[in-house]
Each structure stands twice: as structure tokens, then as C-alpha cells.
Amino acid sequence: MPRPRFSPLDARNGYGPVEGPIGACRGGPISDFLQLDPDRAPAKGLTTWLAEGLRAAIIAGRLSPGARLPATRRLAAELEVSRGVVVDAYQRLVDEGLAAARTGAGTTVIASPAPMSPPSDRRHALAGLQLPLPPAEGIDIDLSPGVPDLAAFPRTQWLRAERTVLDEVTSADLGYGDPGGSPRLRAELAGWLARTRGVRADPDDVIVVGGVAQALALLAQTLYAAGTREAAVEDPGSRGARDQMTHWGVRPCPVPVDDEGIRVADIEQDVTLLTPAHQFPTGVVLSPARRRALLNRGGLVIEDDYDAEHRYDRAPVAALQGSAPDHVAYAGSVSKSLAPGMRLGWLIAPRRMQPELLAAKHDSDLGNPALPQLVLARLLANGDYERHLRHVRDRQRRRRDALLAGLRAHLPDAQVTGVAAGLHLLIMLPGGPDDEVLARRAAQTGVLVHPLSWHRLTPGPPGLVLGYAAHAPDRLAEAAALLGRAFRP
């Protein structure tokens, strides 16, 4: 007698041949929704084989948000694999943000993969470049730098902290308040930044902003009003940061970057914008000698500390601000540690600039939303934020290692830099063609990468910038294999 099967419609609604969730089926095969043939399972790579089957079922709609996946022991028995293979495959879905595992409730699908159309901010940032973004339907793995690990957002901790905040919040907390931010959050940030980044600031020195982008906008407006028309920037460097300064009338003037960071001796402007702890996009650290030279030359230094939390193989590099708080405007955010959609960041500028910056902040938006500020303050106070960062570092180290191993296997001649920290790395292919040509080749295999030339103001050696935060290790290994195929002579 043939074994009973159920239709894709049943699977899409989360039911098997017997009424109930997929994971609770009784009496029939529970793996039909995967459309996998155990007899064709590979001798090696069973976890990847199963994870791809699960991912395909979600993409095709055979598993929709809310569907509970089969129990690991039962699915392993039916597919004739070890339970560890199923556990690891489920974990990959959790890592990718497609599923959630809860004690006593099993593993449940929580999202379908979003369309691969590039985010609107990236389309804006790349407007006018000679190499347009490849068609969305042709991209399977997006390695754009700057995209964080959104699947790691601490939903449980955030919800718990939010409930506590709502129990304690007062009417005054929900008013317009100080445009510089919630006093509670400013106090927590001052203490946390002092402990982790060596920043020297009182709570009143902290301005809560909508990410580093707003911090740069407020600084540019204030500087322009005071007569500043130019600022030195790293080349290559952050295109988004340059665009912010340009939009508000401050022209970016390129200064070369080498193995010690920005060439301080080449700076001619009174204002310098840079990423000293982990230069974007090369990943180099500003050397001690150049740190001293930069701070000794006077003027204003704008320190974009965009991903300082993510470090793996080296000790943290202290912020410049702690050595010269009267000369450094320090900016950071939770965009890379929590999510860019939170729009929460901080700006600590020399005290002489505070009145103008607070006025600009007030005129811009009257201040950030109150509840997210109070929730973040709670997470900082009870240690949940620090525990979350440790968890994310472990995840990102595994992802970085997977991409590195894949690049060594499939692009052994590539020079890889910037691997000790951050969420991206830079590869240089000696003797290779123009990096925009390489990016086009990569796109044809379904992998989106950034040519280093996109981030330059002046010509320089070609390279490719690869972000790895948004993908599980198996997908990064696959991406490296595809890049090796794309760049094969």
C-alpha cells in the first residue's frame, strides 16, 4: 500500500495528512513538504542538503510563517540521517532569521526570505555610479558590506525590558523632554562607553541621535554655519558618510589610506572625518604614531566608531575621544549590534559645540522616540546588551571563518585584509582585471559584492568588499565557491 501523501496546500497551511501541525503529525510521512529523496542524499554535506531543502520549502510557500517544523528525532528517522544533522539544519534556519526555536514549542517558521531587491538607502548611495546594481532577481547571496545580523536581534530580552519599562514609565517620560535624549539612556551610555571604549563624557555630554547618519548631519550643519566648507576624509572610505557631509555643504577632500590608516601628514583641512578603530573598507587600524600626530595637529576630528563592538582576534582599540575630548566628536550607534531600523545612536562632541548641536537636533525632530531609548537603557543597565554582544561576536566569528576558509579554498591567490574585526573583509586579486568587471562576473553567478572603486574618490588598486554578517556559514561557503568560479581564468 503506498504511503499517504499530502498536498502542497496542506503543507503551506502547516498541516500534514492527519489534522495538526506538521511537527505533530501522526501515522504518515512528515518529510514530503521537503521534496527530498533520502536515496539521493549526498555522502557528505548532509546538513547543507537538508538546510537547503528546508529553505526551499519556505521560499516556495510549502512552509509559511507559523508552521511548526517536525520533531528532530522523527524527521531524522524518516530521512535516515542522524538527529544531529536535523538539529544543525534547524539551527541554520534560526541563524538566517527564518525560524525560531522555543523550549517546549519546537522550531517554528517565522519569516519568508525577503525579495533580494537592494535596500533603498543602498540604491541612493550608489546613484550615479558607472556600475549599476545587478537585477534583483539575479542575486541569490548579497554580500554588501554594512548589512548586520538581523536574525540575532534579541527579541526575548527586548520584549522583557519593554514590559518592565512600560510598568515603570511615568507621564513625564512620555513628553517631549530633552532633545538630547532620555536622561536615563544618556547616563547608561556614558558609563558603558567609558568601560568599553575609553570615552570620557558626562551624561550631559551625550546626544541621542537617529544613528551615525544623523550625527554626521548635525555636525555638518553646525560646521557649515560656523564657516567650514571642507573636511578631510579617508580614501577609500565610507560613501554614505561622504554623502552626508556633501549634502549639508561640507565638501569631502580625499586623503590616502595605507597600512597605518589615514596619512595624517597629507591632511590640509581643519576638520577630519575617519574610522580609526576599523577603517572602512580596508579594515586597518590607525597606528599609534598617527593617532598622536592627528590629535596633536589640532582642529576637529570626527570619529565614526561604526562597528567597534565586533572584534575577534585582537584586543579592542580605545576611541580617540578619550585622549582628546576637546578635539574629537565621537559617533556610534546600535545599527550593527542590534538593527539599523532601531535608529538609535549617540554623539559626544566637544562641549563648546553642544549648544549649536542641541539646537540643530531640536529643529530636526524634537528628539528621538522615548520608549526605545528607555528600553535600551534597561538592557544596558541589566547586562542584557553586553550578553547579546558576546553572543553576536561568536556568531560573526563563525561566519567570518567560513568565508575565509572558502576564499582560501577557491581563491588561494587573493590577499584578504580586515579580518580581525568588523562585519566585512577586503580581498585584493593581484594581476586581476578591473574590480567593476569582477563585480559583474560575481553578479552573473548570483553573488553581489562591492568593488573597492565604489568607495574611492581617486583611482587606486582594485579590490572587492565582502560583508558576511547577514548569512549563515554554509551560505558564505557557497558564496566563496561561486566567486572562485566567477574569477577563474
Q: Which residues contact 110 (CB under 8 A, 6 or more apart)?
A: 65, 66, 97, 98, 99, 100
The three grid cell numbers given for residue 93, joined into one nine-digit string: 534556519
Phi and psi, residue 428, nearest 5°:
-120, 130
Per-residue model confidence as pLDDT tens for the chain (489 residues): 333 333 332 332 333 333 333 433 333 455 666 777 777 778 777 888 888 788 877 777 777 788 888 888 888 888 888 888 888 888 877 766 678 787 767 888 876 554 433 433 433 333 333 333 444 457 889 999 988 888 899 999 999 999 999 999 988 888 888 999 999 999 999 999 999 999 999 999 999 999 999 999 999 999 999 999 999 999 999 999 999 999 999 999 999 999 999 999 999 999 999 999 999 999 999 999 999 999 999 899 999 998 878 888 777 788 999 999 999 999 999 999 999 999 999 999 999 999 999 999 999 999 999 999 999 999 999 999 999 999 999 999 999 999 999 999 999 999 999 888 889 999 998 776 789 999 999 999 999 999 999 999 999 999 999 999 999 999 999 999 999 999 887
**Rounded CA separation 76/178 (Å):** 57
In one letter, which amino acid is 51? A
For the domain bounded by 8-109, which CATH number is listed? 1.10.10.10
The three grid cell numbers given for residue 90, joined into one nine-digit string: 534547524
Q: For the chain, first and last CA: distance in Å?
A: 54
The arrangement of secondary structure in 167-382, i.e. its CATH architecture, is: 3-Layer(aba) Sandwich (3.40)
Which residue ranges make up each domain of the chain? Answer: 8-109, 120-153+387-486, 167-382
**Rounded CA separation 349/356 (Å):** 11
* pTM: predicted TM-score of the whole model, two decimal places: 0.75
Q: Can you give the pLDDT at residue 141?
A: 92
Q: Can you give the pLDDT at residue 429?
A: 84
Residue 307 vs residues 86, 231, 253, 278, 362: alpha-carbon distances, Å: 34, 22, 23, 8, 27
Which residue in 235, 233, 231, 232 sits closest to 222, CA to CA?
Answer: 231
The arrangement of secondary structure in 120-153+387-486, i.e. its CATH architecture, is: Alpha-Beta Complex (3.90)
In one letter, which amino acid is 1? M
Judged by DSSP in three states, 319 sits in coil
User: Are 231 and 248 within 8 A, CB to CB?
Assistant: no
